[in-house]
Structure 1
Amino acid sequence: MISPVGKEKFDIQEKYGIYGESQAIKEIVAVIKQVALTDITVLITGESGVGKELVARAIHGESKRAEGPFVIVNSGAIPEGILESELFGHEKGAFTGAIETRKGYFEMADGGTIFLDEIGDMPIATQVKILRVIETGEFMRVGSSQLRKVDVRVIAATNKNLDEEVRRGNFREDLYYRLRTVNIYIPPLRERREDIPILFERFVSHFCEKNKVAFAGITDDAMQVLISYHWPGNVRELKNFVESILVLESGKVIDAPMVRKYLRYDFNQFDYARNLPIKYGKPGEQADRELIYRALVDIKSDLIEIKNLLGNLADFLVKQISSPLALPEAKVDFKTGTVVENYSLIDMEKRMIKAALDRFNWNKRLAARALQISERTLYRKIKEYGLEEERQKK
């Protein structure tokens, strides 16, 4: 029997599609219940595709503003030149093309909630005005000198590290601390793999019911592949995968080779982090024994690898200290810690960028994140080194 509190949490998850039984999801649901009944500002963080909008909808839907509007603004998708007009509205004749007076998103959200998605991409100049609206509820339309007031709750979300953006001067510190009164972090799917079977079953059930599609089942091996996969696109990628495979393999039992066929990466080429087995379709004692055994094997393997790597790198560093002038042109095999041949630092940078692009199938956003540089810098380096031309020649 489900307790009243447990039933309440279950209803919230079903109502807003926040599926999962991991500890992280349970804590998120608990926080939603706590903050929903207040007007406190909430910042939702996490990678793209983890479900930040679902959490924002749940907060609004469980709040006293539930009958009011819920307005979604994708801050990164609106051109900087018209962003303020979109947010705060404009007067007729305020700029070329302003043929009539128009309300902005904040006025549309009056009495309800505004969800500022991808707020980390918002220009500094606009951030100042957002801070003022949050603190005072006041704003002015573009081209107007009249102060207007709204009653709006603000929920923001970002996939960026705002701490780092503040240090770099890309995000206002005062707005950051004002937004993160409550910070809900949604971990990526690869960090809560026990939720994958639950999400899979929910997505299958909803899609089949909506589209009258038959589902013949999935093998244990196929589910283990899903659980072991890295899921760079998170929950959104899993949902898209389910819909694709149900349509294209209609009526067939989903097996492991079929799963690998529809996933984004080649499992033979990319060796993602070794994952502990999840208990799925196996007796509890057997799964526990496998869990412990494989964990011990992985730990032993990791210790041997670290020991060898440290020994090789130590030898390499001793050589470099005794001959420091060789360092700028030393090509290092980081697996063995040995010097293979000489080449320039520019060549090293080019190879690192090319390796990152190849690893992520030329997804520049993921490659830039792995390299810890901006996408703009990555595009410039690709052009500078002619990597796009090299790729087209192959």
Structure 2
Amino acid sequence: RRRERYFAINCGSIPEGTIDSELFGHEKGAYTGAIGESEGYFGVANKGTIFLDEVGELPMATQARLLRVLETGEYIRVGGQEIRKTDVRIVAATNVNMRKAISEGRFREDLYYRLNTIPIQMPPLRDRGEDILLLFRLFAMQMADKYRLPKITLTEEAKKMMLQYKWPGNVRQLKNITEQMSVLSEQREIGVETLRRFIPQDPESTELATINQPGQHSYESEREILYKILYELRGNIADLRRDVSTLRKQIDENRDLHDVASHFSSGFIDSAKEHVPAISSRDPRLSPYTPSAEEAVAEEIKPEQECLNLSDLGRQMVEKALERNNGNRKKAAQELGISDRTLYRRIKQYGLDKK
């Protein structure tokens, strides 16, 4: 196969809507803009090799198509019905933790085992020891040839610093720093002071990453933390809004009942006072212990109050207000000191609308 065609495909750079067409091809008119047929990489690379870089970024639908190709060598173009066959060698690479992606449902487990025929683990640059210095020498020679400058070298202290650095960007970061020092540094022998100007000195870059214990949850990005906070706030706000609405409704109902009851009681007492005859304290027929007019009124209304509950008081008050205003609900509501809506609700509650 080494003499056949070879294609390197970055799966993370192809949009999700067109990746199936790029890999497996499409028929004419399969979608808007498909003005002609396309073989796709699997059709063009028959008998050759396809390198799928960042394979962990593939959508779930594309993973199912890829699994069929790996198992049977058959695929169908987008918008087509004809089954086609291909014989392609697949090489895949990713920096995603595949075990975690499988547990989170972002990658198919059967596709992982189908791709994982001959696994090759590439350790991070910080774990490769003296390889850091060997790669630095290689990149230094490449930059010297590229820019036609003398090759840079490292002092012993600078070499120790290179070995102690975390290298979060791995080989790409090492190559970039070597190129910067080759172009920007006036000295060809790089010491610690010069190296510090090109290597970040923040704690996150100089300390090794911590490994989480099994069962612990780790936030790999700030986006996940923000989503969790926003989700909790949304639930708290919804509960608070519901509690406030319930409390407000209870307060309104209690206020309406209190207003109706107080207005009825004061009106009843005033009307009772009007019908009580004036009693002179000089009447010789009265004993020294004759009760006053207010006490007489209280004695008269006491039996009636005992037989009335709060609902009966409200009903009688609403009936009297409607009678005094000849059935005008708006005036009756103003007289009772309540809103029109509350009066309509009380009328319906007491069954007065059926009269």
For Structure 1 versus Structure 2, the TM-score category normalised by the shorter chain is 0.5 to 0.7
Q: Out of 58, 74, 78, which is 2:14 matched to?
A: 78
1:87 Cα offset (Å): 0.8
Partner of 1:136: 72
One-letter code aligned to 1:377: E
Q: Out of 155, 158, 169, which is 1:222 matched to?
A: 158
> How do residues 1-394 of structure 1 correspond to structure 2 at under 5 angstroms?
65-266=1-202, 272-273=207-208, 371-373=218-220, 376-378=223-225, 380=227
One-letter code aligned to 1:111: K
One-letter code aligned to 1:372: Y
Q: Distance in 2 between matches of 1:377 and 1:78?
A: 24
Contact 1:107 / 1:150 at 8 angstroms: preserved in 2?
yes
Partner of 2:321: none
**Gap change, CA 1:235 and 1:271, over 3 Å in 2:** closer
Q: Distance in 1 between matches of 2:178 and 2:11?
A: 29
One-letter code aligned to 2:162: L
Contact 2:24 / 2:78 at 8 angstroms: preserved in 1?
yes
Q: Distance in 2 between matches of 1:273 and 1:160?
A: 18
**Gap change, CA 1:379 and 1:67, over 3 Å in 2:** farther
Aligned residues: 226
RMSD: 2.6
1:380 Cα offset (Å): 3.9
Contact 1:91 / 1:142 at 8 angstroms: preserved in 2?
yes
Partner of 2:287: none
Q: Distance in 2 between matches of 1:115 and 1:259?
A: 36
TM-score of the superposed pair, with normalisation by structure 1:
0.53
Contact 2:166 / 2:205 at 8 angstroms: preserved in 1?
no
1:103 Cα offset (Å): 2.1
Q: Any idea what SS the aligned residue of 1:100 has?
A: coil
Deviations 1:152-210 (A, max 9, x none): 10011111111121122111111111111111110101111221111111111122123
1:256 Cα offset (Å): 0.8
Q: Which has the larger radius of gyration?
A: 2
Deviations 1:313-335 (A, max 9, x none): xxxxxxxxxxxxxxxxxxxxxxx
Deviations 1:208-255 (A, max 9, x none): 123312124321111111111000011111011111110111553211
Q: Distance in 2 between matches of 1:255 and 1:382?
A: 46
Q: Distance in 2 between matches of 1:240 and 1:271?
A: 17
Contact 2:50 / 2:90 at 8 angstroms: preserved in 1?
yes
Q: Distance in 1 between matches of 2:226 and 2:2?
A: 43
Q: Distance in 1 between matches of 2:92 and 2:207?
A: 32
One-letter code aligned to 1:200: F
Contact 2:74 / 2:84 at 8 angstroms: preserved in 1?
yes
- Higher-RCO chain (CA-CA 8 Å, sequence separation at least 6): 1
Q: Distance in 1 between matches of 2:120 and 2:168?
A: 20
Q: Distance in 1 between matches of 2:231 and 2:102?
A: 29
Q: Distance in 1 between matches of 2:3 and 2:9?
A: 19
Q: Any idea what SS the aligned residue of 2:52 has?
A: strand
**Gap change, CA 1:201 and 1:374, over 3 Å in 2:** same
Deviations 1:281-304 (A, max 9, x none): xxxxxxxxxxxxxxxxxxxxxxxx
Q: Distance in 1 between matches of 2:44 and 2:226?
A: 37
Contact 2:9 / 2:50 at 8 angstroms: preserved in 1?
yes
One-letter code aligned to 1:222: A
Gaps of 5+ in 2: 211-216, 233-355
Q: Percent identity?
A: 46
TM-score of the superposed pair, with normalisation by structure 2:
0.59
1:384 Cα offset (Å): 8.8
**Gap change, CA 1:167 and 1:270, over 3 Å in 2:** closer
**Gap change, CA 1:102 and 1:237, over 3 Å in 2:** same
One-letter code aligned to 2:28: K
**Gap change, CA 1:384 and 1:224, over 3 Å in 2:** farther
Q: Distance in 2 between matches of 1:263 and 1:241?
A: 7
Q: Any idea what SS the aligned residue of 1:185 has?
A: coil
Q: Any idea what SS the aligned residue of 2:36 has?
A: coil
1:259 Cα offset (Å): 1.0
